Structure formats: structure tokens, C-alpha cells
Amino acid sequence: MEHRIDQIKKQLHAQSYKLTPQREATVRVLLEREEDHLSAEDIYLLVKEKAPEIGLATVYRTLELLSELKIVDKINFGDGVSRYDLRKEGAEHFHHHLVCIECGSVEEIENDLLGDVEKIVERDWGFQVKDHRLTFHGICRKCHDGTTTLKK
Amino acid sequence: MEHRIDQIKKQLHAQSYKLTPQREATVRVLLEREEDHLSAEDIYLLVKEKAPEIGLATVYRTLELLSELKIVDKINFGDGVSRYDLRKEGAEHFHHHLVCIECGSVEEIENDLLGDVEKIVERDWGFQVKDHRLTFHGICRKCHDGTTTLKK
DNA sequence: ACTTAAACTATAATGATTATAAATATAAAA
DNA sequence: TTTTATATTTATAATCATTATAGTTTAAGT
């Protein structure tokens, strides 16, 4: 944890940004709740527990900054809210989402599903791929096994 | 054009919805500007040119309905606006987007890039894929050729 | 024509996000 | 250390996209 914070601190400094207490508090929440796809509001509330004086706008600004620096991923499931995830240390961007249209659950999968596909896009369309977003919509295991009672 | 309208009319009737004049006007705009990734606001303004008495909320409701019936695709490039495209007649959902991070252009490509990938997801994660969204972010041909002056 | 439900317009309300102003902290220069 | 300049912050207002509501109109079925 402290190691990761330190890493991020250096990355910020390298681009002449500071790791202010507010920013650190935000990063800590993201670290604790890694992979939780938290919204800005969620993060704001969690940060507030530790540092009640922090403002929502600051959280937004921090998330925007971290997102520009590729420290967090800003993702969008089309539900009108942006969600933020801290990137795994040095991770390539090989994670994708399975959104269940029954129960609304979101599972994240790690797999370089698109390595070849990106090559095709670069070759056939002359488009230099820097990043991608891939989301599958369908029925999750629980829902088609009938082993869930969750409904949105 | 008229053929497609007729088709949509039947599809609506089949689910006991009517093709009201407002809905028809909306569909006509989408037909005329196919593949244009119009926002609800864009569509509203275009519809208004033909039928000035139509309301924004109606356009939203119509788009929502058409989207549920899979007549239009509701897409989201993460720019805070939903965009709507009429699906091509009987088309499978094999189109993907190339969003240029230089000039902001959006190109649409048609290709079953993910046929195999979907099979992998179903097999390895037990997730029944019904649909997917795939967007690549990168540098478009124009921008890395330096043949464009467009900047966002 | 009469009844009922669906669809409509206009507008208010909401929710997420961004912009602004004033205050505070931090770093750099003198 | 004081001064000055710059970043960052909080609090709050504003904005933008979208959704909900109230009252009205339209159309279908009887």
C-alpha cells in the first residue's frame, strides 16, 4: 500500500503535480476499494469518512487528473455515471467488463482478448490503437443458473 | 426509405406500439442521417425542422423505445452524451468505433472482430453474450499522416 | 358518440459534472 | 524571513443531459 502511494507520488512529481493530502486520501480510498468501480460520489463519501473537510469538486478534479495521467481508469457503463478504478501496478490495459442485463452486476475479466484484433485494426484501418474499451452485455452465470435472486 | 419505415412500423405493431407521426419523424431523421452518431439534442433539432411542435421529451422517449426494441443502437463515447444510430436492416451488431484522441473524429468500422472472442468469454466465464461494445482510442490515419488541421 | 388507454407537449425537477470566486497553502525569489 | 506568485482548495452556483409530472390531445375499441 505505502509502496504504491509512493510510486504514485513520484509519478505526480515527475509531471510537476503534488500529492496533496486530499489527493492522497482519494488514492487511498481507491487502493482500499480496488476494482470496485466506484463512482465519484461513492469515492467522495468514502474520502469524507477520513477527511471530512474535503469537497466534491476536489474529488472530481483529482479523479480527472489521475485519469489523465493514466493512474486511474475512467469507465462508463452507460448508466450515466463515470466510474473510476486504480490501475494495477504497471498493468497493461487488458481488462474488460461483463455487464449482466438481468441483475446488473459487473464482472471484470483480465485477458488479452484483443491483442490480435488491435493488430488488425492498425493494419486495415491505419488507426494507431492506444487504448480500447470492451464491454459485453449478456446473462451472467448466476442469472442463467437461476441461482440468484438479485434483480436490478 | 419507405420500405424501411414500413418495416419499423410492423415491428412496432408486433409489440403493440404505434408509429405515431412524431415517432415517424424521428425515424426519418435517423434514416436520413444514418451512421451520424447523432445526440438526442441533434435529433430533436432536426426533427423540429420538419415538425416544429414536437417536444424534446418525446424524442427522448422515442429513442428509448427504439433502443429497447433494438431498432436503434444507443452508444456512448464517454463524452457525456448518448448517441443514436438506426441499425442497418437485419444487421448483426458487428460495428465498432475508432475514436481519435487527436481530432476527436469517430469512424465506424464493420467487421466481425469479436466472433471468436465472444466464444472465449462464454466458455471461460460462463457468460452468455448478447451484445458488446468495442471502442478503440488512438490516432487516426489523418492525424498521424499530418494531413489534417482539425483539432478539437 | 363514449370510454379508456396511450401518447403528447410543456415544463419542472433531478443528478452528474464543471465553472467560479474567494480563501488558503505552498514554493520561489528577494 | 518576508514577499510574491502560483497552485490548490472549499463552497457554491451554473450547466447540461436526462427524466418525471401534470394536464391535454389523440386514437382504438365498444
Interchain CB contact of A110 with B (< 8 Å): no
Domain residue ranges of chain A, discontinuous segments joined by +: 2-86, 95-145
Interchain CB contact of B150 with A (< 8 Å): no
Residue of chain A nearest B123, judged by CA positions: A141
List bases, strand D, within 7 Å of protein CB: 7-13, 16-21, 27-28
A-contacting residues of B 29-88, CB under 8 Å?
A: 74, 76, 78, 82
| pLDDT confidence of residue B146 | 66
Q: Nearest CA to CA, how far is A125 from chain B (Å)?
A: 8
| pLDDT confidence of residue B149 | 40
Q: Nearest CA to CA, how far is A20 from chain B (Å)?
A: 28
| pLDDT confidence of residue A92 | 66
Contact A121, A127 (CB under 8 A): yes
| pLDDT confidence of residue A78 | 80
- For B90-121, the DSSP string reads T--S-EEEEEETTT--EEEEE--TTHHHHHHH
| pLDDT confidence of residue A152 | 28
Q: Locate the DSSP E strands across A37-152.
A: 38-39, 72-76, 82-86, 95-100, 106-110, 128-139
Which of A111, A128, A131, A139 is the best substitution to test chain B (most B C-beta atoms within 10 A)?
A128
Which residue is closest to C10 in terms of CA–C1' distance? Answer: B55
Percent of chain B with pLDDT over 90: 36
| pLDDT confidence of residue B46 | 93
Residue A124 is given by DSSP the state H
Ranges of chain A whose pLDDT falls below 70: 90-93, 146-152
Fold of B2-86: Arc Repressor Mutant, subunit A (1.10.10)
**What does the pLDDT look like over A50-72, one tens digit per residue?**
889 999 999 999 999 999 888 89
Instruction: Name the residue facing B109 among A98, A107, A125 (closest C-beta).
Output: A125
| pLDDT confidence of residue A15 | 85
| pLDDT confidence of residue A62 | 95
B151 pLDDT higher than 70? no
What cell numbers appear for B149 in the block?
488541421
Sheet bearing B106-110, strands edge to edge: A106-110, A95-100, A128-139, B128-139, B95-100, B106-110
Residues A96, B13: Cα–Cα separation, whole Å: 37
- Between 3.40.50.300, 3.30.1490.190, 1.10.357.10, 1.20.1260.10, what CATH number should domain A95-145 receive? 3.30.1490.190
Instruction: Name the residue facing A129 among B120, B121, B138 (closest C-beta).
Output: B138
ipTM of the complex model: 0.75
- Residue A149 CA, chain-centre distance (Å), reads 27
